[in-house]
Amino acid sequence: MPETMPSEDAPRRARGRPRGWDDKTEQNTIKSLDRAMEIFEYLSTEQGKTLSQLSAELSQSPATVYRVLVTLEARGMVEFDGEAQRWYIGARAFVIGARFLRRTSLVDRARPILRSLMERTGETANLGVEKGGMVLFLNQVETHESIRAFFPPGTLSEMHASGIGKALLAYMDAARFARWIEGRQLAAFTQHTLVTPEALSAELTRTRARGYAVDAEEKNLGMRCIAAPVFDMSGEAVAGISVSGPASRMRVDATHALGEAVLAAARALTRAIGGQDFAGEAGASL
């Protein structure tokens, strides 16, 4: 009997995916593995716990928690301090995490988050990093409005007069900030630009307190920007996300709502690259 060839119109199952790939019901989950991951993830944030502490805090029997820990220990995912009788995340977990970071592209991860932010706020969403003491814009999702801010990839901007710049400066460590500010002339672009170290320092303090930075027509008259930092796995601010647009739409009374939206987007990107959110903690000071 001749083989029956599949129709060209028939849906093809993706290689490496079993039938029912999209079925995430209980029948397709491994309960013991799910329990083990719950214990592993909890230990990653609550290191140095004893077996009895983990058992009580996770509402799991000591025998179950112990079996999971011993299994993970054999794989190097957790480590046991026999003298202190406490459990910690193991070196193997770092190796696997590092592999994830090697395949993670900041721009690729940011793209859907920027689009979502633009749709939520109605304003242009931007991604930037610090490069040579300046803000380097890496990506942008433009608003559909006819009047818009425009920072094409590759654009450089002064940090002290930029929302993303101030978001990054606010979370620089003190030594790095001191090197950045030393001998630097803070150019005035408008009458609103912060041109003294004292004024900039006070603004960075306000930025850390609320979690996001505001460019209130400091680079271009009639344009405002609100930005928040993105953190890597060590808690360093490595990028910033912002929305920018005309002051007529980005009114002062809308600053808090826009700031919360930008902050949520920055935190989403922080999680997407495996980072830790340190917003609100102490950063640069003069």
| pLDDT at residue number 223 | 94
Q: How many helices (H) and strands (E) does the chain have?
A: 9, 8
| pLDDT at residue number 4 | 45
Q: Is 215 helix (H, G, I), strand (E, B) or coil?
A: strand
What pLDDT, in 10s, does the model give residues 148-194? Answer: 676 777 888 999 999 999 999 999 999 999 999 998 999 999 999 99
What pLDDT, in 10s, does the model give residues 27-67? Answer: 566 888 999 999 998 998 788 999 999 999 999 999 999 99
| pLDDT at residue number 66 | 95
| pLDDT at residue number 8 | 46
Q: Of all helices (H) and strands (E), which one includes residue 278?
A: none
What pLDDT, in 10s, does the model give residues 238-261? Answer: 999 999 999 999 999 999 999 999
First-to-final CA distance of the chain: 83
| pLDDT at residue number 279 | 58
Other CB atoms within 10 Å distance of the CB of residue 231: 23
* In the predicted structure, residue 286 carries a pLDDT above the cut 50: no
Q: Domain-by-domain residue ranges, the chain?
A: 26-99, 104-272
Average pLDDT, the chain: 86
Structure confidence at residue 233 as a pLDDT band (50, 70, 90): confident
Q: Is 175 helix (H, G, I), strand (E, B) or coil?
A: helix
What pLDDT, in 10s, does the model give residues 180-230? Answer: 999 899 999 999 999 999 999 999 999 999 999 999 999 999 999 999 999
| pLDDT at residue number 3 | 45
Q: Which residue has the higher pLDDT, 116 or 99?
A: 116
- Report the alpha-carbon distance of residue 55 to residue 64 in Å, rounded: 8
Q: Find the mean pLDDT for residues 87-91.
A: 91
**Cα–Cα–Cα angle for 58, 85, 66, rounded to 5 degrees:** 45
- Report the alpha-carbon distance of residue 129 to residue 99 in Å, rounded: 22
* In the predicted structure, residue 16 carries a pLDDT above the cut 60: no
| pLDDT at residue number 62 | 94
Class of domain 26-99: mainly alpha
CATH of 104-272, one of 3.40.1410.10, 3.40.630.30, 3.30.450.40, 3.40.50.12500: 3.30.450.40
- Report the alpha-carbon distance of residue 182 to residue 187 in Å, rounded: 14
| pLDDT at residue number 7 | 47
* In the predicted structure, residue 276 carries a pLDDT above the cut 70: yes
Is residue 159 a contact partner of residue 135, using CB atoms and an 8 Å limit?
yes
Q: Find the mean pLDDT for residues 92-106.
A: 73
